[in-house]
Amino acid sequence: MLNDVLRLINKRRTPQGVQARSDQVRNSAGGWTFELDDAARLRRFLILGTDGGTFYASPLALTLDNAAVVERMCVDDPGTLLDLVHEVSVGGLAPKPNPALFALAVAASFADDEHRARALRMLPEIARTGTHLFLFATYIEQFRGWGRGLRRAVANWYLERDVTTLAYQLVKYRQRDGWTHRDLLRLAHPDTGDPVRRALFEWVVRRTDVPEVPELSLIRGFTEAQRAETSVVELVAEHGLSWEMLPDTALTQPEVWDALLAQGMPMTALLRQLGRLTSLGVLAPGSRNLSAVVAQLTDAERIRKARVHPLQVLIALRTYASGHGLRGSLTWRPVQQLIDALDEMFLLSFTALVPTGKRMLLAVDVSGSMDYWSIAGTPLTPRVAAAAMAMVTATTESDYEVVGFSHKLVRLPISPRQRLDDVVKTMSGIPFGATDCAKPMEYALARGREVDAFVIYTDNETWSGRTHPHQALRAYRDATGIPAKLVVVGMTSTRFSIADPDDAGMLDVVGFDASAPAVMADFIRG
């Protein structure tokens, strides 16, 4: 019967605009997918944030949705909430500290007494810099007042660091979002019997002179630098000043940057200043400075200790290779050795990988929703970031194919032998359309590809296909006899996934979790 409506009820091949199972929910694009549990959603939020929103949800809507998850976990599972905040923050798994600090502020406001106290004890470990502390202060005032426990927690931030380290924090990170250390010290009233630490507090609050002790050498150097009565180059060498501690006029002088490089710049600061250093001629081809910087950028142990996130490296690479800053005011001619070093650094910033030896299809969602907004509040789109993630896996595997898909599927002309900036350019030029996350499995089945694992990088906003992704994977398994696995790499902080939670052969991971490729490889190996 041509008009038999019962033929529309098909549990083996269901259009994505129709619910295939009772445990599916409608995603923001109108398709039906699976819903993540709160712990998985929290992990996505902590790592990816919500700054950029998505094609279908504004940053505000996405933030409110994720904030509700954090508040719910404060009541239902505060222990897991704090465990995940600690794991992501201390493990350096996220490119930005804001989500973890926000979640910590919520827990310190709404959790039960035991976990609220634990959240406050965690503050010095999660807020590792003065800027982090200011962010936390901003967030927590959105939920509560300054009670005794909060004041004690902030006081401990100033008391638990040794004096030399604290002095560095006080002059490097001086203000943020309307907060200064003077404000917080007046609120917290940290009590100390150490005369040197007390003198440091007095200098911050009342700008009194500091004693001539080695622990406060940095304070004296900072004060002299602001007066500009002594050579800044000499002050950098004598007191170990960082660039943030210097007056703006000094930062236009190549000799000052020579001195900063000579004493060693922190890795993340170095990444941000590559363009400026090149513009000033400090990193000229063939120079000693260039050789030293290239060596630092490709030092795996330094990268690990500095907890440099892969996304930070990718941003630095794309910005530096473009030859101009994000606002276009600063320009430079990129040095090829630095581009190559950043390319290598990107791979080194991930957990060490061991090849799986499996046949893999790496599928990058290139639909319109993956190219409309930014990831984690950066200038990178999920499409570009997904291609970079695929490259990480491809560099360690010998039997793989890389494809891009939207409502159609194409083979992507990228390989690990290419530089990452070339891959980024290639991805930026691919046309896009609607989203059908079943395409990789349908492609492999139609062309007789033998695949042990499908790895799909997507925002999970699939809606246009004639069959659901989990159904397409089952069809591939049934037709080939291969127990193929599916790894879904989520590139947004939404609550959706195409991975069937009841299928042990499917895994959902967070895109740009620095440990994700290693976790994926372990799962694929079994």
With respect to residue 252, please indicate whether it lies within any of the assigned structural domains: no
CA 525 to centroid of chain Cα atoms: 26
Same domain, residue pair 416 and 301 = no
With respect to residue 258, please indicate whether it lies within any of the assigned structural domains: no
Report the distance separating Cα 1 and Cα 522, nearest Å.
50
Mark residue 53 as left, alpha or beta (left: phi above 0; alpha: psi -120 to 50; beta: remaining).
left
Mean pLDDT calculated for residue range 440-449: 97
Strand-strand pairing, 485-490 and 453-458: parallel
512 has a pLDDT exceeding 80: no
Same domain, residue pair 319 and 371 = no
Same domain, residue pair 109 and 207 = yes
The pTM of the full predicted model, rounded to 2 decimals, is 0.87
Mean pLDDT calculated for residue range 146-169: 97
159 has a pLDDT exceeding 90: yes
Report the distance separating Cα 407 and Cα 8, nearest Å.
22
- Reference 461, options 361, 392, 373, 378; nearest CA is 373
The rounded mean pLDDT for the chain is 90
Of 155, 184, 216, the domain-final residue: 216
At 51, the pLDDT band (50, 70, 90 cuts) reads low
Report the distance separating Cα 458 and Cα 474, nearest Å.
19
pLDDT digits (tens, 9 = 90+) for 288-306: 999 999 999 999 999 988 8
Decide which of 419 and 116 is more confident.
116
Mean pLDDT calculated for residue range 273-289: 96
Same domain, residue pair 366 and 514 = yes
Looking at residue 1, what is its pLDDT?
46
User: In degrees, to the nearest 5, what angle opens at C-alpha 241 toward C-alphas 236 and 244?
Assistant: 120
pLDDT digits (tens, 9 = 90+) for 335-371: 999 999 999 999 888 877 789 999 999 999 988 888 7
Looking at residue 117, what is its pLDDT?
98
At 242, the pLDDT band (50, 70, 90 cuts) reads very high
Sorted by sequence, the CB contacts under 8 Å of residue 379 that are 6+ apart come out as 315, 318, 319, 326
43 has a pLDDT exceeding 50: yes
Of 155, 183, 216, the domain-final residue: 216
Report the distance separating Cα 436 and Cα 333, nearest Å.
41
Same domain, residue pair 342 and 469 = no
With respect to residue 2, please indicate whether it lies within any of the assigned structural domains: no
Report the distance separating Cα 76 and Cα 198, nearest Å.
42
Looking at residue 161, what is its pLDDT?
95
SS3 497: strand
Amino acid at 272: R
With respect to residue 343, please indicate whether it lies within any of the assigned structural domains: yes
Same domain, residue pair 48 and 145 = yes
With respect to residue 88, please indicate whether it lies within any of the assigned structural domains: yes
Same domain, residue pair 206 and 272 = no
With respect to residue 180, please indicate whether it lies within any of the assigned structural domains: yes
Same domain, residue pair 324 and 453 = no
Report the domain count for the chain.
3
pLDDT digits (tens, 9 = 90+) for 76-127: 999 999 999 999 999 888 888 999 999 999 999 999 999 999 999 999 999 9
User: In degrees, to the nearest 5, what angle opens at C-alpha 232 toward C-alphas 229 and 238?
Assistant: 105
269, 245 contact by CB (below 8 A): no
Q: Phi and psi of 340, rounded to 5°?
A: -65, -40
Looking at residue 460, what is its pLDDT?
87
Same domain, residue pair 56 and 180 = yes
55 has a pLDDT exceeding 70: no
Report the distance separating Cα 174 and Cα 149, nearest Å.
24
List the domain range (segments joined by +) for residue 424. 360-525
3-state DSSP: the chain helix, strand, coil percent, rounded to 5?
Answer: 50, 10, 40
Mark residue 170 as left, alpha or beta (left: phi above 0; alpha: psi -120 to 50; beta: remaining).
alpha
Same domain, residue pair 340 and 376 = no
461 has a pLDDT exceeding 70: yes
CATH code, domain with 517: 3.40.50.410
With respect to residue 511, please indicate whether it lies within any of the assigned structural domains: yes
At 488, the pLDDT band (50, 70, 90 cuts) reads very high
**Residue ranges with strand state E in 115-221:** 175-176, 179-180
With respect to residue 257, please indicate whether it lies within any of the assigned structural domains: no
DSSP single-letter state for residue 417: T
Same domain, residue pair 393 and 435 = yes
SS3 397: coil
Of 322, 348, 374, the domain-final residue: 348
Mean pLDDT calculated for residue range 237-245: 94
Same domain, residue pair 322 and 294 = yes
Q: Which range has highest mean pLDDT (3-7, 201-205, 316-320, 426-430)?
A: 201-205
Looking at residue 371, what is its pLDDT?
77
Of the chain, the percentage scoring pLDDT greater than 70 comes to 94
SS3 486: strand
Please name the helix (run of DSSP H) or strand (run of DSSP E) that holds residue 107, with its range, or none: helix 98-110
